[in-house]
Amino acid sequence: MTPSPDLLAVLREALPELRAVASTIQDCAEISAHSSWADRIDTALARIDSALSAHEAQGWRPIESAPKDGTPLRLFAESLIDEDFNPSGSAEGHWCDDVGWQAALWNDSAEEFYTAVIYPTHWQPLPPPPETTT
């Protein structure tokens, strides 16, 4: 399940407050005497921060930063937006040295995919495939 943008924003806003509370707790004499608690607090906060940063890095990026080595990517172009079929305006595609950005698009009347040159403004890396049991 992908966290909603609202949840991510709340977590990002709460992290500095959690750090302040953790710092206050760590300053207490009783907690300071048990450094394992302080280490656990630091580790938990670092894990939250790392997870948020990693998730935020997966967002849409300017097309100028996309790899041009044939790596398959999720591409966004306003011209791909179709309210009924493709409201997100995105498609899987890649850079091809001789023509530029190409994407696999669906031809509804022929009921098949075709390759087309597109002019994306943003990109995302594709997620890894799900694990299979076979």
pLDDT digits over 63-99, tens only?
A: 999 999 999 999 999 999 988 888 889 999 999 999 9
Do residue 65 and residue 121 come from a single domain? yes
For residue 39, the Cα-to-chain-centroid distance in whole angstroms is 29
Phi, psi (degrees; rounded to nearest 5) at 54: -65, -40
Last-in-domain residue among 40, 56, 72? 56
In a domain, 117, yes or no: yes
Rounded to an integer, what distance in angstroms lies between the CA atom of residue 35 and that of residue 32?
Answer: 6
- The answer to the question of residue 131 being in a domain is no
CB 126 within 8 A of CB 73: yes
pLDDT band at 130 (very low <50, low <70, confident <90, very high): confident
Whether residue 19 is found in the same domain as residue 49 = yes
Contact status, residue 47 vs residue 35, Cβ threshold 8 Å: no
What is the CA 126 to chain-centroid distance, rounded? Answer: 9
Neighbours of 24 (CB within 10 A): 10
Same domain as 67, residue 51: no
Evaluate if pTM is beyond 0.75.
Answer: no
Residue type, 14: A
Contact assessment for residue 106 and residue 126, using Cβ atoms and an 8 Å cutoff: no
- In the structure, how many helices (H) and strands (E) does the chain have? 3, 6
Q: 133 lies in a domain?
A: no
**Same-domain check for residues 68 and 96:** yes
* 30's tokens: 């009783």
CA torsion, points 33, 38, 40, 42, in degrees to nearest 10? -170
Please give the residue that has the higher pLDDT: either 9 or 17.
17
Is there a domain that residue 33 lies in? yes
Residue 77 is predicted with a pLDDT of 95
Bridge partners (DSSP) listed for residue 86? 82
State the average pLDDT over residues 55-65: 81
Domain region containing 115: 61-125
Same domain, 41 and 76: no
